[in-house]
Amino acid sequence: MQNSPTPISNQMGVDTEFPLKPGWALKENQKMGNKGGGKRISKKVIQYLQAYFHAGNLNPKDRYTAEKMHESLKELAHENELSVEDIPEVKTIRDG
């Protein structure tokens, strides 16, 4: 008798020894990162931020920092032009 290779399925119980649960690769079972899952910036706030950005492009002396933009948005909220909840954090303005 020759030593014939034993099939892999006989060496290890594939169904019982596989470390992942059945269905792990199905798209509906995948848990991805939360990229883009946060709060969205309102269109009105985006328009103000764009205006601040363009003001700095037209005249470099009028350039707004993220902190200055945040302060201006807070002033608009104080004047009831914006809702306080709509104002993004300084980090969001800086990274956006």
pLDDT, one tens digit per residue, over 12-28 is 555 566 677 777 777 77
Indicate the pTM of the whole model: 0.59
First vs last C-alpha separation in the chain? 72
**Residue 29 — φ and ψ, nearest 5°?**
-100, -5
Residue 33 neighbours by CB distance under 10 Å: 6
Rg of the chain over Cα atoms, rounded to whole angstroms, equals 28
Of 91, 88, 6, 15, which Cα lies nearest the Cα of 48?
88
pLDDT tens digit sequence for 32-88: 666 666 678 899 999 999 999 998 888 888 889 999 999 999 999 999 999 999 999
